[in-house]
């Protein structure tokens, strides 16, 4: 571990998480609204998505780039035919993410809807009503549930990849808690009731009545 880029990858994940949490906060959105007014109301979400995509790509490439400077010993590789199963599950998880985005409104999620119908930046850049159908019947944050499958079913794992998996998992849990706080503020008692009856990330094996 010490001779690999493990800790550098963890540091990169921490910086990535800090940047995204700061940009997603009401404080950052409020500052943009006061500074740029109508322009910010129309473009903030889209700008956030673009930054998330670009920095996310850099984060995924970072462990590979470190191999040029530091050794990156392999920990394990899932053998055939089991690797086909993990790849199939990752594909289903990716499709689940896309379906979940569609349920909440892909245009709003990507920030395209706000270009023509801007909303105040102090409100969430997502659905105007609480969504509890589809995958949201089983967990409150299905995108994060599917993300964990994508992260932990990697077919080949080195020390750098393990650091990326751990870092992204920690960031996802922290992001979930921050999102919970924002949703509670925005939907009030409706979200409290939804929260009472629905698990956060991992569905119940034996659903209650």
Q: What is the pLDDT of residues 76-88, one digit of tens each?
A: 999 999 999 999 9
Place of tokens 């993410």: 97
Q: Please tell me which residue, 33 or 9, carries the higher pLDDT value.
A: 9
Confirm if 125 and 44 have CB atoms less than 8 A apart: yes
What average pLDDT does this structure show over 31-35?
A: 89
pTM: 0.84
Lowest average pLDDT, out of 65-79, 110-124, 176-190, goes to: 110-124
What average pLDDT does this structure show over 102-122?
A: 78
Q: In angstroms, how far is CA 11 from the centroid of its own chain?
A: 18
Confirm if 139 and 198 have CB atoms less than 8 A apart: yes
**Maximum CA pair distance of the chain?**
56
Distance CA 31, CA 122 (A): 10
DSSP annotation of 177: H
* pLDDT(93) > 80: yes
For 93, other C-beta atoms within 10 Å of its C-beta total 17
Residue 56: pLDDT band with limits 50, 70, 90 = very high
Rounded mean pLDDT of the chain? 88
């Amino acid at each position: 571990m010490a001779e690999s880029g493990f800790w550098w990858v963890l540091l990169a994940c921490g910086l990535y998480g800090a940047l995204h949490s700061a940009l997603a906060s009401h404080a950052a959105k409020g500052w943009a609204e006061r500074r740029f007014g109508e322009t910010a109301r129309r473009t903030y979400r889209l700008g956030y998505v673009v930054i998330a995509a670009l920095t996310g790509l850099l984060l995924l490439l970072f462990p590979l780039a470190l191999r040029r400077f530091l050794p990156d010993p392999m920990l394990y590789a899932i053998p055939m035919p089991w690797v086909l199963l993990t790849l199939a599950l990752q594909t289903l998880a990716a499709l689940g993410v896309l379906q979940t985005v569609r349920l909440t409104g892909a245009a709003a999620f990507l920030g395209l809807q706000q270009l023509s119908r801007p909303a105040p930046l102090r409100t969430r850049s997502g659905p105007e009503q609480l969504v509890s159908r589809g995958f949201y019947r089983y967990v409150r944050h299905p995108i994060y549930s599917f993300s964990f499958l994508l992260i932990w079913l990697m077919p080949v794992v080195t020390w750098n990849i393990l650091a990326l998996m751990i870092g992204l998992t920690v960031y996802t849990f922290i992001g979930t808690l921050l999102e919970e706080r924002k949703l509670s503020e925005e939907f009030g008692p409706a979200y409290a009731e939804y929260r009472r009856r629905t698990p956060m990330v991992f569905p119940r094996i034996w659903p209650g009545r």
